């Protein structure tokens, strides 16, 4: 079965993080239409988009009964509008991050999807980063013993920043925290408490560009951090357990390859992913060091998971509870003074 699909929006998100993956899955998906308002003919003439109809009329997608899945890749403040419109027209919907700008909007979409018997889900491609999958595999192996602390970094060195005011959903916490938070929720579920510290270090009137959130699970703590003022990178992931430590220094290579126009069907794509270090004590009491080969990352696995949900009824790869908890934590940060420690109900 091949699922006919369409895209709303044709910016960097669609062209870099979605289409390169879905277009090589022709046995599962057939992208038939893309809604875009400018340079339509020019885009239809590009060889990689042969057979796709570009349109400036949203009704061309909404009224096409053959289209079963729509991916929304527009600015965050329009996600709810387009996702709701698609659900009302009988389409399953995948929505770029952040899923919505408020928790109530997300609840409305899930309720509407249940009423219509449809799927609506956020795009959480970072669940399929090589670095995250490698860490997950080691944690699940039990070799670290009881996990006591995880630290996750998504940093840059961009000391200059133009004045670009916007809503809180244009800042670092909604833009990058939505991913690193989701990874921790996928591993450890809902925390009991969350500590926040959001800052505006480069342009005080811009949305936040630096954050730290600590997710507290009893004796265990997961820390997610982002800054644009980190010249020497931290490890991407650092995990401490009662029997050892895991360190993965480098971030997944998929984004770098996509930026360099090396596509997922190229043998060089993500070639050379770095191993991680596992320093631990085994069950016999021996102190060991091992270099763990990287688990292959693939953002296209989001679409593989959606295909399984739509064709076989498999559970959605991001549960409704996980998606709502993610937005609850993001939104709550902007209703509290910073820094703050809050207890989740």
Q: Render pLDDT for 132-164 as a digit per residue (tens, 0 to 9).
A: 999 999 999 999 999 999 999 999 999 998 888
Kindly give, in sequence order, each residue whose CB lies less than 8 Å from that of residue 208, ignoring residues fewer than 6 positions away: 168, 171, 172, 173, 198, 199, 200
Contact call for residues 181 and 330 (beta carbons, < 8 A)? yes
Choices 3.30.360.10, 3.20.20.140, 3.40.800.10, 3.40.50.80: CATH for 126-301+328-343: 3.30.360.10
| Rounded Cα distance, 102 and 17, in Å | 24
- How high is the pLDDT of residue 44? 65
- Measured CA distances, 138 to 179, 234, 253, 279, 290 (Å): 20, 20, 19, 11, 11
Residue with tokens 């387009």: 82
Look at strands 220-226 and 210-217 and give their pairing. antiparallel
Contact call for residues 70 and 6 (beta carbons, < 8 A)? yes
**Low-confidence residues of the chain: pLDDT under 50:** none
- How high is the pLDDT of residue 158? 95
- How high is the pLDDT of residue 41? 65
Closest CA to 309 of 118, 109, 56: 118
- How high is the pLDDT of residue 263? 93
Which residues of the chain does CATH 3.40.50.720 include? Answer: 3-123
- Measured CA distances, 105 to 82, 173, 330 (Å): 12, 18, 14
- Measured CA distances, 322 to 30, 47, 191, 310, 319 (Å): 29, 38, 11, 19, 5
Which residues of the chain does CATH 3.30.360.10 include? Answer: 126-301+328-343
Q: Which CATH class is domain 3-123?
A: alpha beta
Q: Say what angle helices 178-188 and 130-141 make with each other, to 10 degrees.
A: 20
Contact call for residues 220 and 239 (beta carbons, < 8 A)? no
pTM above 0.85, yes or no: yes
Kindly give, in sequence order, each residue whose CB lies less than 8 Å from that of residue 78, ignoring residues fewer than 6 positions away: none
């Amino acid at each position: 079965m091949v699922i006919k699909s369409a895209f709303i929006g044709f910016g960097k998100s669609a062209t870099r993080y979605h289409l390169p993956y879905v277009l090589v899955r022709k046995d599962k998906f057939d992208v038939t239409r893309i809604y875009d308002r400018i340079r339509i003919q020019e885009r239809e003439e590009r060889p990689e988009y042969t057979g796709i109809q570009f349109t400036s009329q949203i009704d061309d997608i909404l009224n096409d009964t053959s289209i079963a899945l729509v991916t929304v890749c527009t600015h965050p403040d329009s996600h709810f509008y387009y996702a709701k419109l698609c659900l009302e027209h009988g389409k399953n919907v995948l929505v770029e991050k952040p899923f919505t700008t408020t928790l109530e909007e997300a609840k409305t979409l899930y309720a509407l999807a249940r009423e219509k018997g449809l799927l609506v889900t956020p795009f959480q491609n970072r669940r399929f980063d090589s670095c995250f999958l490698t860490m997950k595999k080691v944690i699940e192996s039990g070799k670290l013993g009881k996990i006591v602390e995880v630290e996750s970094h998504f940093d840059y060195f961009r000391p200059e920043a133009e004045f670009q005011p916007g809503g809180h959903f244009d800042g670092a916490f909604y833009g990058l925290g939505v991913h690193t938070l989701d990874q921790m929720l996928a591993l450890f579920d809902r925390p009991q408490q969350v500590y926040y510290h959001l800052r505006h270090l480069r342009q005080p009137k811009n949305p936040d560009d630096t954050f730290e959130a600590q997710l507290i699970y009893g004796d265990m703590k997961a820390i997610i951090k982002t800054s644009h003022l980190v010249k020497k990178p931290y490890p991407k992931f650092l995990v401490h357990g009662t029997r050892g430590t895991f360190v993965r220094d480098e971030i997944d290579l998929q984004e770098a390859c996509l930026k360099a126009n090396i596509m997922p069907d190229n043998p060089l794509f993500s070639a050379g992913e770095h191993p991680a270090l596992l320093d631990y004590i085994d069950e016999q009491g021996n102190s060991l060091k091992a270099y763990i080969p990287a688990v292959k990352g693939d953002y296209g696995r989001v679409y593989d998971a959606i295909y399984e949900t739509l064709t076989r009824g498999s559970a959605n790869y991001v549960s409704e509870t996980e998606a709502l908890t993610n937005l609850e934590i993001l939104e709550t940060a902007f209703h509290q003074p910073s820094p703050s420690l809050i207890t989740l109900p």
